[in-house]
Chains A and B, each alone.
Chain A
């Protein structure tokens, strides 16, 4: 675990920044405005969404928007576990958190490649 810290910590910081800048807008528009019918019919239609996402910039932004915040999430969850008295389990629990983030990051890259 210790060897990973200098790698994980900057990923965690970047993840908070990327998540913080992009997730509020995503939540507001895609998960609230869209289902509530506030947007026009084709704003998040499959065709338009696919066109935006498959653009090179779109692919990079989406991969970053998924992957980096997962590292921030993993780091926070791990430290939350320690704060709740879980230092003894940190060896495997911390590794599990980062493994989940890694898996999600790999899947994020795969997801944008196969668009």
Chain B
């Protein structure tokens, strides 16, 4: 196999039936020039060690399945080119998540956090059903479009220091998603979501480290969503003293 460089992959392994704690295992992989980290992992599983477990699907950075730590950085392995790395590449499960096995993390906590912000169109209480389609101008779409680009890859959770230190924190993706709905002109549930945002692990737990936006592969900029949400939350809270709540 001429023209193929060999790289050493130091992969975190963990089998709950056999291992007390995660350990590492090294694999020598002959890599092609255009390979991504995911290609190497699939080579390991196909040719070297079928017991390796890792999540992946679309291999084109739209499904959000293949998030892992590559040399300490949270990355989508299908999008991370091996030519950017030296002879040794360390691959581990996403940081800040419990590890189910090898490179697979437990995502139930993430799914619960997404649901907590009520990520659906909320109609105004007592409002009549909307006849026909909602109409939205390009400006109204632009108000939330960026935040709708999230692919739920959880890289932001792996990078966020507050996720590491505050177990109840809803996290960047969930809060950005909530803000996406607050900004959507079809939605009338902003006050309801702001109650969640003011609650345990809400927007005010964010300390603006900005790591989430640095690692986001889709330029969602969850940090911007959260900082805007803080200001809007304060305004919503203040409005609550002037305008009675309970039915909008």
Contact = CB atoms under 8 A, between A and B. Distances in A.
Interface of A: 2, 5-6, 9-10, 79, 82-83, 85-87
Contacts of B207: 79, 82-83
Interface stretch (B3-11, B95-103, B113-121, B196-204): B196-204
Contact of B167 (A9, A79, A87): A87
Given A79-B207, A82-B207, A6 B237 contact: yes
23 contacts: A2-B198, A2-B200, A5-B198, A5-B202, A5-B204, A6-B204, A6-B233, A6-B234, A6-B237, A6-B238, A9-B230, A79-B207, A82-B162, A82-B165, A82-B207, A83-B161, A83-B162, A83-B165, A83-B207, A85-B165, A86-B165, A87-B165, A87-B166
Contacts of A85: 165
A83 B166 CA distance: 9
Contacts of B200: 2
Interface string B157-189: 000011001110000000000000000000000
Interface of B is mostly: helix
Interface of B: 161-162, 165-167, 198-200, 202, 204, 207, 230, 233-234, 237-238
A79 B205 CA distance: 8
Given A6-B237, A9-B204, A79-B207, 12 more contacts: A2-B200, A5-B198, A6-B233, A6-B234, A9-B230, A10-B234, A83-B161, A83-B162, A86-B165, A87-B165, A87-B166, A87-B167
